Amino acid sequence: MAVPGDPPNSTPEGMGGGDDEFRSDEYRSVVFDEDFVRAARLQEYSAQERMGEHARAVRSRSIWSGGGPGSRTSTPGRGARQGLLLVLLIATAFAAAVYMGLRNPYEPPPGGTAQPLSSTVVPLAPTTVVPGGRPVDLYAKSPAADYRVGAAGISLPAVRRTHHFSDTQVVTALSIAKDYLVQSSLDPDILAGAATRPVRVLLDPDQLAQFDRSMTSPSGDGRHAATGWLVRFDQATAVVADSRVRVSGTLAFEEVAPDALEVTTDHTFVYAVRPATGAPAPADGASLFTVRRELRLRFDRDDLGARRLELVSAYVMAGPQDCSADPAGAFRPLLAGAAPTTVGPAASDPYASGQPRRTAGLCGVLASPAAPQTAPVSPAP
């Protein structure tokens, strides 16, 4: 049997056996069976493996080619690709932040504690006998003949955005202001002094303690007049005879700070009242009672979100009333047939449009419907 490494047909001619023959005889006993031959594998090292630790790193020409299995450039390619993706991600986030900043400008944080209400309530004394009659006839003969009824008389102005408040936020402020006027001037339970909650829930929490004290212990100190917050009648004196209260006036808004929006309201409310139950009723029945309310309301962003307001100031004129009556707790109208109690050189007309001249005294004079519309307020002697 031939052994691998032996020439075919044994030793060639002309070549002696010598040492070769001895070495050939030495390995003749080694036999490689077929299983051993099949199991043998020839392995050729790569160039990088043959170079050992001195192999130079090779970078792929394309950062996107990660290489396939066995590629020598797969690891460096992935690193470059991940680095570029990170840069792109940071750039995208920065662009998005700039875009959102332009679309939604920075909103300053809400303001601090709400300031206490400053209020002035001026009773207006009649200059003539208080006329009486049926409410519908009284309204028809008064300057309130063309006024709208109830909330319809409180109309909102044209809306535009301000520098720091959107048009939606302005509408919200105006609608809250209207709600406050409706609840504090037209709600039957408020007018009768039977409820305060519809007004209270619309106030900034920082003003609730002042409001509660004004309701339980009213005072004409400029801070705690119940009639500075709302309209209500002394139920021992008069009650509302017609729920269709006549209303006319205006609302205006202004941004007073980057985090504060202010709404100013100026409205005249005309009520038909009659004597309270048990009180002597005049022959002509009802009479008119007029309240001019000029309010300044402030809103920060928290107020707008919670649908509440801060009542900054209130200037109120109401009559006919006796100057000796204290209007801080509730209004005490002079009813039909009552004689004038104060006569002065000038008069205050709550029906006049525009900002009224404010009196420095504690009582004013109520102008009759025939009085000049521009007559100023005069303090009573």
Supply angle C-alpha 111, 112, 116, rounded to 5. Answer: 115
- pLDDT (tens digit per residue) in 13-70: 555 555 555 555 555 556 666 766 666 666 666 666 666 655 555 555 555 555 555 5
At residue 148 the predicted structure's pLDDT band, cuts being 50, 70 and 90, is very high
Name beta bridge partners: 264.
Answer: 252, 296
Average pLDDT estimate for 111-124: 87
Tokens of 168: 């939606």
At residue 282 the predicted structure's pLDDT band, cuts being 50, 70 and 90, is low
313 has a pLDDT exceeding 60: yes
Range name among 110-114, 186-190, 298-302 with the lowest pLDDT average: 110-114
Average pLDDT estimate for 115-128: 93
Main-chain dihedrals φ then ψ at residue 136, nearest 5 degrees: -65, -40
79 vs 25, higher pLDDT: 79
Average pLDDT estimate for 100-110: 53
Range name among 97-106, 217-226, 313-322 with the lowest pLDDT average: 97-106
Distance CA 40, CA 20 (A): 27
**pLDDT at site 32:** 61
Classify the C-alpha dihedral 141-232-378-323 as positive or negative.
Answer: positive
**pLDDT at site 366:** 84
Range name among 27-41, 182-196, 252-266, 305-319 with the lowest pLDDT average: 27-41
**Number of CB atoms found within 10 A of residue 269's CB:** 26
pTM value > 0.75: no
At residue 88 the predicted structure's pLDDT band, cuts being 50, 70 and 90, is confident
**pLDDT at site 204:** 96
Contact 183, 290 (CB under 8 A): no
Q: For residue 239, what are the CA distances in angstroms to 56, 236, 288, 341?
A: 103, 8, 11, 21
Average pLDDT estimate for 59-88: 62
Tokens of 48: 């990088």
Average pLDDT estimate for 267-274: 97
Average pLDDT estimate for 146-164: 96
**pLDDT at site 237:** 94
- pLDDT (tens digit per residue) in 340-378: 876 544 456 677 766 555 544 578 888 765 433 333 343
Distance CA 274, CA 106 (A): 55
Q: Nearest to residue 124, comparing CAs of 275, 306, 320?
A: 320
DSSP labels, 138-162? HHHTSGGGGPEEGGGG-PPPP----
Ordered alpha helix ranges (H), the chain: 18-27, 34-39, 47-51, 74-103, 135-140, 167-185, 188-191, 197-200, 208-216, 226-229, 301-306
182 has a pLDDT exceeding 50: yes
5 has a pLDDT exceeding 90: no
**pLDDT at site 77:** 63
